[in-house]
């Protein structure tokens, strides 16, 4: 006879507390008197209860064969929603009441007899190493944490999934959420509706995908228990899906679905019973004295704005940039964006030079004005611009207004004391690899060809001026004006700016937008057309040369970032292709 989830829950309750009467069993199990009465009959018929409602040896064996024997803790990710805390502390080591979250989880597992614990680590993995000595845990290293989600993390531990708790590293619960006795597979959600969730509990107490993005789902806590057939099924799906590129950004829960239904049962707990701490504000609400709240970035923001840290609210991580991390926050009814430099940025950006650029731009109406900027550590605060959006490089109207802004900036002929030498920078980025070799087999040949373009560039009549260098579509902010008025455009993020040929900015725009040759030609024509001119063919060739050189520059940059665990997928390869393809094109045009 097949037992329902209710039957199994009541069986576990009887195992732990014994039987006195149906009303007490109703109270202990949380099910109605009718459900209790029905389950007792089913359990008796199955041979799990004797005539006195005491559990039998058959029942004890059934429970023991399905009860937990190990646990996997997932701790590899950045915890991007924890910005700005995640720049200093990995999320599993955030403290509540002086105790790191992951240690509390480990102690709860030990309390029920689970000492076989594996932790999948990635970001700031060294910080977790002490746990090996303190708790005898096993470490599994995810070196691809920067560009693969936790489906990949769990796949690295797939062979260990068998009567297993799967636990995110950033949960906190006042009481122990685990049990020494389990007899079915489940996934934990809270009874609170959550607009960010993509699953919900249906009327049959099953977990299903949301059919409408506008609906709220059940808040996902992420703690789960997997045993029996479900453990085998999950192992197989994880190993299969982790090999497919389409799942690199997926959560492990995707592997627990068959069609639109999860094959793990719903375990619904009261909101707050078990809490997954995803944000600065959630941590603050749980423990306002947590030492992790004493964060340098938060201190700077509060001090700059003449506020208390408690005045900083609604912290939202922005899209992770290629160089920095940034977050949006409210402070006294105003919105601000704070920039925090990313991994290895101190080797890439000279913040004092950046400060000199902003000084030259001050009051020119070209960029957003800084509320705060520290040339020592790169922290920057700007006011949030309501109604702003990025340039769409595929939209000709956007392209025209942004090229007009870029041309107006170039025509100002501003100057700063430093130069951005694209050849020198390309070689410098390569030097940051150390003894590592390029991932490209023909790298040295490509490098020699690109460097040879230096002779061609030096023969051109170049008027050096302040150039943005990173004038990519994402750095053009378009603010729609009132009806009938032209939009306003700001050019932001001047980290790489320096003296250079202004046409380098066109090449940079093109290769970030991943333009093909026809689109690059249209970009060049548009830039000159907004100034009432027609592009000179010699200048067009020069811009093609910059496409090659800049593609090589950013390819080297991407290889350096890859060594830090940050991968940009096919963007890196596309830059390398620009280096090769446009070198050939320039040679053809020169020979002609």
Cα–Cα distances in Å, from 211 out to 208, 218, 287, 450? 9, 13, 36, 52
- pLDDT tens-digit map of 384-394: 888 889 999 99
Check residues 291 and 97 and name the one with the higher pLDDT: 97
Residue 560 · residue 432 · CB < 8 Å = yes
* pLDDT reading at 350 higher than 50: yes
Q: Please tell me the distance from the alpha carbon of residue 556 to that of residue 573, in angstroms, as a whole number.
A: 11
- pLDDT tens-digit map of 25-50: 999 998 999 999 999 999 999 999 99
Three-state SS at 207: strand
Check residues 49 and 84 and name the one with the higher pLDDT: 49
Residue 418 · residue 354 · CB < 8 Å = no
DSSP class of 175: S
DSSP 342-362: -TTGGGT--HHHHHHHHHHHT
CA-nearest of 418, 399, 421 to 509 is 399
Confidence of residue 81 (pLDDT cuts 50, 70, 90): confident
Q: What is the pLDDT of residue 76?
A: 93
* pLDDT reading at 506 higher than 70: yes
Check residues 351 and 406 and name the one with the higher pLDDT: 406
pLDDT, average across residues 169-196? 93
Q: What is the pLDDT of residue 284?
A: 83
Three-state SS at 230: helix
pLDDT, average across residues 411-427? 95
Residue 399 · residue 483 · CB < 8 Å = no
Confidence of residue 423 (pLDDT cuts 50, 70, 90): very high
Q: Please tell me the distance from the alpha carbon of residue 72 to that of residue 76, in angstroms, as a whole number.
A: 12
Confidence of residue 523 (pLDDT cuts 50, 70, 90): very high
Q: What is the pLDDT of residue 176?
A: 96
Question: Roughly what angle, to the nearest 10 degrees, separates helices 33-45 and 5-17?
Answer: 90
Confidence of residue 377 (pLDDT cuts 50, 70, 90): confident
Residue 422 · residue 553 · CB < 8 Å = yes
Residue 546 · residue 527 · CB < 8 Å = no
DSSP 97-132: TTEEHHHHHHHHHHHTT---EEEEEBTBGGGGTHHH
pLDDT, average across residues 484-493? 86
Q: What is the pLDDT of residue 356?
A: 92
Structure token digits, residue 514: 């991943």
Under the phi-then-psi rule, with left for phi > 0, alpha for psi from -120 to 50, and beta for the rest, what region is 52? alpha
Check residues 51 and 562 and name the one with the higher pLDDT: 51
- pLDDT tens-digit map of 425-468: 999 999 988 888 899 999 999 999 999 999 999 999 999 999 99
Query: CA angle, corner 69, sides to 232 and 161, nearest 5?
Result: 25
pLDDT, average across residues 519-524? 97
Q: What is the pLDDT of residue 146?
A: 77
E strands present in 484-563: 488-491, 498-501
Confidence of residue 342 (pLDDT cuts 50, 70, 90): low
Peptide bond before residue 84 is cis, with ω within 30 degrees of 0: yes
DSSP class of 4: P
CA-nearest of 356, 341, 513, 344 to 420 is 356
Q: What is the pLDDT of residue 281?
A: 81
Q: What is the pLDDT of residue 322?
A: 47
> What average pLDDT is seen over the chain?
90
pTM: 0.69
- pLDDT tens-digit map of 306-321: 998 889 888 887 755 5
| Percent residues over pLDDT 70 in the chain | 96
Q: Please tell me the distance from the alpha carbon of residue 141 to that of residue 137, in angstroms, as a whole number.
A: 13
Structure token digits, residue 327: 């977050």
């Amino acid at each position: 006879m097949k037992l329902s989830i209710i039957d199994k829950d009541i069986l576990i309750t009887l195992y732990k507390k014994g039987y006195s009467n149906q009303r007490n069993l109703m109270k202990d199990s949380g099910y109605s008197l009718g459900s209790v009465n029905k389950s007792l009959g089913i359990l008796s018929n199955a041979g799990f209860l004797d005539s006195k409602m005491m559990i039998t040896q058959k029942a004890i064996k059934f429970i023991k064969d399905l009860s937990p024997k190990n646990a996997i803790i997932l701790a590899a990710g950045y915890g991007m929603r924890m910005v700005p805390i995640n720049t200093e502390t990995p999320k599993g080591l955030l403290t509540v009441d002086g105790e790191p979250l992951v240690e509390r989880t480990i102690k709860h597992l030990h309390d029920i007899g689970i000492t076989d614990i594996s932790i999948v680590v990635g970001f700031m993995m060294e910080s977790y190493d002490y746990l090996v000595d303190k708790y005898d845990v096993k470490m599994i290293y995810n070196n691809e944490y920067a560009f693969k989600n936790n489906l990949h993390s769990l796949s690295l531990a797939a062979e260990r999934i068998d009567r297993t708790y799967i636990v995110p590293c950033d949960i906190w619960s006042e009481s122990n959420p685990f049990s020494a006795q389990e007899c079915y597979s489940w996934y934990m959600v809270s009874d609170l509706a959550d607009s960010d969730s993509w699953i919900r509990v249906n009327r049959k107490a099953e977990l299903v995908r949301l059919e409408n993005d506008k609906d709220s789902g059940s808040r996902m806590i992420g703690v789960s228990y997997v045993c029996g057939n479900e453990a085998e099924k999950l192992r197989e799906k994880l190993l299969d899906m982790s090999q497919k590129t389409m799942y690199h950004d997926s959560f492990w829960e995707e592997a627990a679905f068959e069609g639109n239904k999860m094959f793990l049962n719903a375990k619904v707990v009261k909101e707050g019973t078990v809490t997954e701490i995803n944000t600065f504000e959630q941590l603050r609400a749980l423990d306002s004295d947590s030492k992790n709240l004493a964060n340098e970035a938060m201190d700077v923001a509060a001090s700059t704005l003449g506020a208390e840290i408690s005045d900083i609210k609604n912290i939202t991580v922005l899209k992770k940039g290629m160089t920095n991390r940034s977050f949006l926050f409210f402070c006294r009814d105003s919105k601000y964006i704070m920039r925090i430099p990313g991994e290895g940025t101190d080797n890439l950006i000279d913040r004092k030079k950046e400060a000199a650029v902003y000084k030259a731009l001050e009051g020119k109406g070209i960029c957003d004005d800084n509320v705060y900027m520290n040339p020592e550590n790169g922290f920057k605060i700007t006011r949030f611009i309501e109604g702003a959006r990025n340039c769409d490089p595929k939209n000709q109207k956007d392209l025209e207004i942004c090229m007009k802004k870029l041309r107006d900036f170039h025509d100002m002929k501003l100057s700063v004391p430093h130069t951005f030498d694209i050849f020198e920078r390309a070689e410098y980025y390569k030097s940051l690899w150390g003894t590592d070799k390029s991932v490209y087999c023909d790298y040295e040949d490509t490098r020699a060809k690109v460097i040879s373009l230096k002779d061609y560039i030096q023969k051109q009549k170049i008027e050096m001026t302040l150039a943005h260098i990173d004038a990519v579509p994402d750095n053009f902010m378009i603010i729609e004006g009132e009806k009938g008025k032209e939009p306003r455009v700001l050019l932001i993020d001047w980290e790489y700016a320096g003296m250079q040929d202004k046409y380098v900015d066109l090449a940079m725009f093109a290769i970030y937008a991943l333009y093909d040759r026809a689109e690059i030609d249209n970009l060049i024509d548009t830039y000159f057309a907004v100034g009432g001119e027609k592009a000179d063919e010699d200048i067009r060739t020069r811009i093609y040369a910059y496409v090659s050189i800049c593609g090589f520059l950013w390819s080297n940059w991407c290889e350096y970032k890859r060594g830090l665990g940050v991968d940009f997928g096919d963007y890196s390869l596309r830059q390398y292709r620009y280096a090769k393809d446009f070198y050939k094109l320039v040679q053809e045009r020169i020979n002609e």
